[in-house]
Amino acid sequence: MKHLFAILFFTFTILPCSGTGQPIDILIWRGDTLITYNRLLETYPNWEFIQPKISAALERIDKQIHPEKYNNDEIEFSYYVAEWHVIDNRLFLCNIYLESNFEAKVDLQEIFQTDPDNGFLYANWVSDEIAYQKGKVIVSGINPIHEYELVLQISEGLVINHRGFTNYIAKKPWYDRSENPNTINDLLYSKIDWARLPDYGNKRLQVIVTIHPTKRGKLDRIEFSETYMIDGQNIVTDPGSPFIKEAIKVARKIPEWYVIYHRNSILNQSIQIVFSKETQKKYAR
């Protein structure tokens, strides 16, 4: 799927750290601290040889600081956090530490050949567009979106361009204000004509329909390239599938959508509908 899209089942809360439970890296940019979900260190050449060294070093240091944590057989070893700084438009790896213990830091000189002047590692292997984020999580999921976003264009470790964006929710649909957490499911499944669907036995068919809303929160178009069905191990993209057609029909009947601006453009959204005996029994009228 080429385009970033938001699943309709949002949570809008202010959360600590990334607010998502996902591993993050940290960027210090012009005195400000931002996070990213891009694990740049894992793109380092020969990462498969470097990673065990980092893990062993972190565990050794953490054990020295907090030996009491290692008195049982069920140790929860947390994610590492890589801290990056942009200095004179160049990206440097400055620290690697445990998410649960910032005191447990790796000696970069021990793992890498770092700059003798500052002890940092110049990230000359990084050539990519990287998004860094800050503020409240407005869309959670696999690709979380925060209120503020900084996008760096990096070529061999050199920052050649940067852009800043303010992301926000311009409009919420009426069901966002409902106190009933099942409102959106009730809305979706109440519009399915179960009697018209072919028999699917004991299968669990999951259909994702992606749409693009207007700035007023109405349906603009169905994004057929991002609409598909998961049937066991198979991905079905044929819009003629009766289950995809039924899910699209449901999407067209939703009266309001979120309007979320991400990088100055309205974000696509998706609904997920599961066709199964369980859901049919629960919602069929």
Ordered DSSP codes for 88-152? TTEEEEEEEEETTEEEEE--HHHHS---TTTS-EE-TT--EEEEEEEEEEEE-SSS-EEEEEEEE
Residue 188 near residue 271 (C-beta atoms within 8 A): yes
Q: Which tens digit of pLDDT belongs to each residue from 129-182?
A: 999 999 999 998 888 999 999 999 999 999 999 999 999 999 999 888 777 777
- Quote the radius of gyration of the chain (alpha carbons, Å): 23
Cα–Cα separations (whole angstroms), residue 25 to 84, 132, 164, 179, 195? 8, 9, 18, 35, 50
pTM for this predicted structure: 0.81
Q: What angle do CA 217, 218, 222 make, to 5 degrees?
A: 115
Q: How confident is the model at residue 237, as a pLDDT?
A: 96
- Count of beta carbons in the 10 Å neighbourhood of residue 97: 19
Taking only the tens place, the pLDDT of each residue in 3-46 is 444 444 333 222 223 445 578 899 999 999 999 999 999 999 98
d(CA 145, CA 176) in angstroms, rounded, equals 18
Using CA atoms, how far residue 188 sits from 79, 103, 285, in Å, is 38, 49, 13
Helix (H) or strand (E) run with residue 237 in it: none
Question: What span, in angstroms and rounded, lies between the C-alpha atoms of 58 and 56?
Answer: 6
